Structure 1
């Protein structure tokens, strides 16, 4: 599998065009719960602790606009809040975690209130899209696997 190298976002360019191409070519699907959760994060300022809250809010709003509704029940290959997702960024090693709608960081969690989590939500297994970084770099992310969150056992 070949991945694009990290590139710097050109001055004055609109990052939305990157995601619009991805949505047209491969599409993003949001469940009703994820759509509602994203709207709640924005409304309740759940992104205020992100490194670039304005950029993240713009990405989340754009994701809401370009995503289609997911069928019910959601397909097992769809990345949704609460799922365990394995992904790779620009040819690096595989990483994984549970996608979380919570704005509070926790070990093993990928926050939707982050550029990484906002990009992952609504993707499908083996889908590859641009990933915008806080520093303006653009990398490529691919979803390798999606599954249920691991059972934590007795509380």
Structure 2
């Protein structure tokens, strides 16, 4: 058996650093407020209601590491806590909800303290990302639209 090495293909820790560098370049943007809110969820066990807290904690920490700071005010196409996000998961129809930092489920909310919410925060309209499911499967999520919450007062 002959093993052929593909040139220019990173391996080991080089591959991981390439992935992280690529993720930063293509982009997740967090506002200071969302970064602090995410850290607060981690510090105060806001992930304890998740089906798999250790997995969620790892994802949130990873998101904090690889995200860039969003300009202030954040662009309207960025998914932030308090904004309405319409998204589609591979193999499913579109859904929407307001991204929330709450540690417990609320109707019409997508919690940052969930694998879906942790994936969505910092994404931009039309951006795709891998979505790790509680079952261990990996799907794709795409952000279709971002807007102020429905009860947002424009004044």
Q: TM-score range by the shorter chain?
A: 0.7 to 0.9
Distance of 2:39 and 2:52 partners within structure 1: 18
Distance of 1:22 and 1:94 partners within structure 2: 27
Runs of 4+ in 1 over 3 A off after TM superposition: 19-22
Gaps of 5+ in 2: 1-15
Larger radius of gyration: 2
Higher RCO (Cα < 8 Å, 6 or more apart): 1
Give 1:27 deviation, angstroms.
1.1
Match of 2:11 in 1: none
- For residues 24-83 of structure 1, the C-alpha deviation after alignment (integer angstroms, 9 at most, x for no partner) is 452100000000000000000000110000000000000000000000000000000000
Distance of 1:42 and 1:142 partners within structure 2: 25
- 2:150 pairs with 1:150: yes
Match of 1:89 in 2: 89
Give 1:92 deviation, angstroms.
1.9
Give 1:22 deviation, angstroms.
6.0
Q: TM-score, normalised by structure 1?
A: 0.83
Equivalent pairs counted in the alignment come to 138
Match of 2:39 in 1: 39
My pick for the range that moved more, 141-150 or 22-31, is: 22-31
Match of 2:120 in 1: 120
Q: How does 1:45-60 map to 2 (within 5 A)?
A: 45-60=45-60
Match of 1:10 in 2: none
Aligned-residue CA RMSD in angstroms? 2.0
Gaps of 5+ in 1: 1-15
Q: How does 1:9-20 map to 2 (within 5 A)?
A: 20=20
Q: TM-score, normalised by structure 2?
A: 0.83
Distance of 1:72 and 1:139 partners within structure 2: 31
